[in-house]
Amino acid sequence: MLDRLQRLLGLQTIPGVFFTSAGVAALFVLVAVPFDQAVADAFGALTGWIARNLGWFYILSVTSLLIFLLGLALSRYGSIRLGADDSRPDYSNLTWFTMLFAAGIGTILMFWGVAEPVSHFANPPFDGVTANSEGAASDAMTIALYHFGLHTWTIFAMPGLAIAYFAYRHNLPMRISSLFYPILGDRIYGPLGWAVDVIAVLGTLFGVATSLGLGTLQLNSGLSYLFGTPSTGWVQVLIIAVITSIAATSVALGLDKGVRRLSQINIVLAMLLILFVAVVGPTVFIAEGMVQSVGNYFSDLPWLAFWTQTFTESDWQRQWTLFYWAWTISWAPYVGIFIARISRGRTIREFVAGVLFAPSVFTLVWFGVFGLSAINVEMGGQVALAELVQQDPSVAIFAFLEAFPLAEMASLLSIVIIIIFFTTSSDSASLVIDMLTRRDDQPSLVRQRIFWAAAQGIIAATLLLAGGLDALQNVITSLGLPFCVLLIFMAVSLFRALAADYRGYTVSELVQGRVFPEVEGASVQKGES
């Protein structure tokens, strides 16, 4: 029946993946629009249950994956290449690092770069820390780096490494289901594999929709600041419609003409904004604070990575850490595939070092410039930044820029950056979702890519109308859990394949049970008896 429907619509897809994903998304919208409050309450209750009972699982999973990746890089498997043994990287180190910066969290940094440090400075999450104190400022930066540093990039690196390994070394399709070939074998081409890809598609769809929703709130605040535009639901829906239209145009043009050009423009504009704040802001304070923040981050990371608020009755971790991990996990298929596509020929050791540490340095610079400057503004009393952020975090960057010269021009530049950031996120995600829902031998149809871009916009508008920021956080925290489980199995699958690869076996031989176990602590190589 699905095959017949596909022919009728003139699509090129894997019907079980495409129509199931589209159907679940449509069902969500159809239920959420007339019953918005009931849906918001249901996801709120589900998120509360997850936070109480499985919050520790999110924390332990992401930290364990970080340890796993570092262990792989330092192990005997670190020299295995993502491709043939004689392959070499497609891009220079500098080009590769630059592309990594644009891959993941630019959209998130624009929203939280000011809002998060100021929030923690004014409301410290740790017992015994006084608000607006030196200790609160230090902790605020440490928490921000924890949320956006190595742990975030671990979530992106895990699927990115696995996708690159199985695609370039074993010629499997560049889909999430391929990562489970050592466990499922040829069943990845049937319902079990389709189920994995459906989870990846829905995670990406709702993750990008959440980002689009947050960007819409931020754009509405910026337009209100500059032009007095009202902050209402209909304005936000209009903003989403405009961004979705731009994204649809970009995705129709394709990767090189659309996505790539927008990404290049946006990196330049983002760097201009960073330089502006660094030069007109407290430059020496920023430099000193960045150096100190690095030390504090690595000093506190061992205990912070396992901190679960066990002895504190607080909702803080659900609102911050669990939301971030779930949100990042929902982005993992999209960003993982992007990173895999630019990483052919690198060794596992090079991949892990580059993907974990290079973007984390950029995160340090971003929070060093915006976060430290925002704390300095709050300490100096130039703007009641903390009070404004508590009322509405989407106004953070615009209220912050009021403390500097050329505030209106800088705010206008920020609006342009936000629009392009969210447009590139949407169109890139549409390309990836289209890839996940069709076979490699099928062409990528423009109408399919536009459909997914439109779906992101519709879901974002639905989430905003169903409860705004709280709805965005609750839905993504709930939906991130299934893919978090997949990440664990992904690590197991990758390790099994690497162990076989190191001994000279293919993944097909691994699935067929032809890989010999280790004997007396030594590897038995292929062909030995």
How far is Cα 137 from Cα 124, in angstroms, rounded to an integer? 9
DSSP string computed for 79-139: G-BSSSTT---SS-HHHHHHHHHHHSSHHHHHHHHHHHHHHHHHS-SSTTPPTTSHHHHHH
Whether residue 454 contacts residue 248, with contact meaning beta carbons closer than 8 Å, is answered with yes
Whole-number pLDDT of residue 515: 57
How far is Cα 504 from Cα 499, in angstroms, rounded to an integer? 9
pLDDT tens figures, 197-216: 998 999 888 888 888 888 88
How far is Cα 322 from Cα 320, in angstroms, rounded to an integer? 6
Longest dimension (CA), the chain: 78
Lookup: tokens for 311: 């002895």
Which residue numbers in the chain have pLDDT < 50? 258, 516-529
Whole-number pLDDT of residue 106: 66
Whole-number pLDDT of residue 501: 87
pTM assigned to the model: 0.88
Whole-number pLDDT of residue 432: 85
How far is Cα 39 from Cα 66, in angstroms, rounded to an integer? 34
Whole-number pLDDT of residue 367: 92
Whether residue 50 contacts residue 478, with contact meaning beta carbons closer than 8 Å, is answered with yes
Whole-number pLDDT of residue 136: 94
Whole-number pLDDT of residue 262: 65
The amino acid at 387: E
